[in-house]
Structure 1
């Protein structure tokens, strides 16, 4: 497993990670509902700073950025899900940025960046489906019953008729879409911003 090196723990890098965490938290405020998923699944690009951190300073830097983003969001905005949404956001986002960053950081080429992002999106979507099915949605159901969640989704997406189809036709497409959007933006801007993050 990749861990932060002593260099990665330098004061300068931790300051960079902290700044990216703040930017990531701010980006969470700019979100959109999607037409095929429950309203609480919001599309945003708050994973972008984490990916940039993972590419520039290693995958664990991306995970730490994810952690800071969710902690700051919870402390500043509070949580409408009792912290469940923030935990899910952290875990799912961390899988995405760690895998993408791990693959890219081994060989920093455009090809490896594309491969890393592609694999990261796929693995994130798989992980999100499993974690949501067995853990996150059952916890969230303590606040909003699953039947109501399914009903909300079915009004937007005719293919959602039960819990399994909620995962297949709402959760999976949502994460694929979100991951793809963030990946495209990362590919477009990373080389422009990376000089700022390198010593």
Structure 2
């Protein structure tokens, strides 16, 4: 029975990874001044998997998604873009899933996603300033860097986090019991209208 459950989980993780990979192809810029900052909704299946199976599985799905994009499409940024996507993705998904895992309620899901967005904002700035921009060979003056952080990264990650959270909020309840076999706490169904 345990092996059968493990196989079912593995199939669901593979499916979520494939969906996330496909969603990476649908991206769009939101801040004209920084056209390389493109939003995609590939974190939605990652967050759904993390809610259903735990933060560790969320990390696995995030990794597989980025690995698939490199293998199938290649990297136009010398892997910097994919590393950025992975770091920022798990920065949102892991805290949200950890909070939700403690008690699977609508309230904890919402709190988790809000905390995830805030952590993603902080990690996104730190990762960009100290690792990603230097790795990509971008050198900015202090004024340009401040503008990039305040006008680019903060709104970009905020918009992305809200879009991912809203989409997950709308989809997870519909799929949680039928697809993920996620049984919420009694009388406190995740993302229910109660």
Q: Are 1:146 and 2:139 counterparts?
A: yes
Deviations 1:132-163 (A, max 9, x none): 0010011112xxx435xx9xxxxxxxxx9511
Deviations 1:161-195 (A, max 9, x none): 51122112211110011001100111111010112
Equivalence for 1:197: 180
2:155 to 165, 173, 195: 173
Q: Tell me if structure 2 keeps the 8 A contact 1:128–1:171.
A: yes
TM-score for the superposition, normalised by structure 2? 0.87
Equivalence for 1:153: none
Distance 1:180 1:146 in 2: 30
The count of corresponding residues between Structure 1 and Structure 2 is 179
TM-score for the superposition, normalised by structure 1? 0.84
Structure 1's consecutive aligned runs of 4 or more residues displaced over 4 angstroms after TM superposition are: none
Q: How does 1:1-199 map to 2 (within 5 A)?
A: 10-141=6-137, 145-146=138-139, 162-194=144-176, 195-198=178-181
Distance 2:152 2:52 in 1: 32
In structure 2, runs of 5+ residues without a counterpart are 183-194
